[in-house]
Amino acid sequence: MCAGCGRLAVRGAKFKLESFSMFRRVLIANRGEIALRIMRACEEMGVETVCVYSTADKDAPYLKMADRAICIGPGPSKESYLNIARLIAAAEIADVDAIHPGYGFLSERPDFSAACRDCKIEFIGPSPEAMQKLGDKVDCKKTARANGVPVFAGSLEAIEDEEEAVRVANEIGYPVIIKAAAGGGGRGMKVCHNEATLRSMLRIASQEAQAAFGNGSVFIEKYLEQARHIEIQMLGDKHGNAVYLWERDCSLQRRHQKVIEEAPAPNIDRVKLEQVCKSAAKMIVSAAYSGAATCEFLLDNKGDFYMLEVNTRVQVEHPVTEMITGVDIVKMSILIAAGERLPFKQEDIKIRGHAIECRICAEDPQHNFRPSAGRIDRWEVPGGPGVRIDSHVVPGYVVPPNYDSMIGKLIVHADTREQALDRAARALREFHVGPIKTTIPLHQRLVENTDFRRGGVDIHYLERLLKSGI
């Protein structure tokens, strides 16, 4: 967005923004690369930033870029980044207009959104009612069905006891998957191929969900042995408008955690895709949803879509969508929260080229992805046309052991998928980090992998590859 003319460019077209009151000061309730990403967006929009931090992050270099930094507690997340009372207190001390939750931590907690509203602080994301309707997987499935979005067969409500779980599984047939109703990321998720496994895993899944999300509710649905993971990026405003920014393929995963994402998805029926996109947009409008959202689907080998969930926040992999559409998703989420209407219509959203994102994690792939916390002395990042690095790391940065292991994202863009893969390979060869171990060597092998280059690998492909000794 141009601050001087108040216009937003999308792939060469310009859209006039209505007159509205922009936030004066925003608190960023997060850390690491997403905190820096939000900080940069705010600075370009002329908005002051307040960045919170735990004692584990007290020396993080990105804190110096904020207009103000406030310590909110010790290293453990529950005492800092997951502590609503401390975040609200920091927001009131700093006299902010709004809070941006980023992704992870409290970003999908309706009680955090509600606490912000109660304290007259704008939550940059959906209302607690919309978040509950789409963020809770049970409620979301009901809303999806009502709007023609395809979903899996499974329990209509949260599972109350073991016998109910067995009854549902027998009705839909094995294998089934147990899922946490209140969150994702693989936590509280268990695949069961028979009744014995289902009975043994049900309590474990509930306990994991309780620990991760403060909610032990789980549900059951049919499990696909082979499928691709396709997600659709949505934007909704406070005026009943919604658009989709097309899709991403996130099928290269390990233990339900994404490793590489790309947009658009290769080898996909785009007629079927567009039908699903339209039904997803209808669902977003029906839920009175405002902000960025991602509708996640599994695609079976027949080309049929089944919705998994809706992520009621900005996604880690949002940059690949930004690269192919020209829409700044972080800025748009801030504009929407401030009351701005979407400045474009669906027909204005065009796809240009291909983008690929590699999640760079401080892990050792040679030793079962063991976390590799510690000081980074060597940090040499790639550059050149079509190369983007989203990271908070600088030489001398110490990776703390307290949080997610991701230390950055490499995103590349090119005219074609083949060119994007070649560019990613070149960029990864230029990317040097040490002495800690990272997943860069794994990514180097993956972007050169014949099956991946062919396009359309399933969600279990990487785990099979790792077992074979890639």
Distance CA 164, CA 262 (A): 39
**Residue 379 CA, distance from chain mean position:** 25
Q: Are strands 25-28 and 98-100 parallel, antiparallel or unpaired?
A: parallel
Are 190 and 219 a contacting pair, CB within 8 Å?
Answer: no
Q: Can you tell me whether residue 109 is helix, strand or coil?
A: coil
Residues recognised as catalytic: 313
Q: How many Cβ atoms sit within 10 Å of the Cβ of residue 402?
A: 17
201 within 8 A of 178, measured Cβ to Cβ? yes
Token pair 């709007």 is found at 147
Cα separation of 236 and 341, whole Å?
A: 9
Positive or negative, the CA dihedral 299, 273, 239, 120 is positive
Name the DSSP class of 341.
Answer: P
Residue 226 backbone dihedrals phi, psi, to 5 degrees: -130, 125
Token pair of 301, please?
Answer: 């080998």
Specify whether the CB–CB gap between 227 and 299 falls below 8 A.
Answer: yes
* Pairing, β 48-54 against β 7-10: unpaired
Residues sharing a CB contact under 8 Å with residue 120, sequence separation 6 or more, in sequence order: none
Q: Are the C-beta atoms of residues 231 and 296 closer than 8 Å to each other?
A: yes
User: Taking the mean position of all CA atoms in its chain, how far away is CA 49?
Assistant: 22
Cα gap 197→176, rounded to integer Å: 10
Q: What is the DSSP letter of 258?
A: E
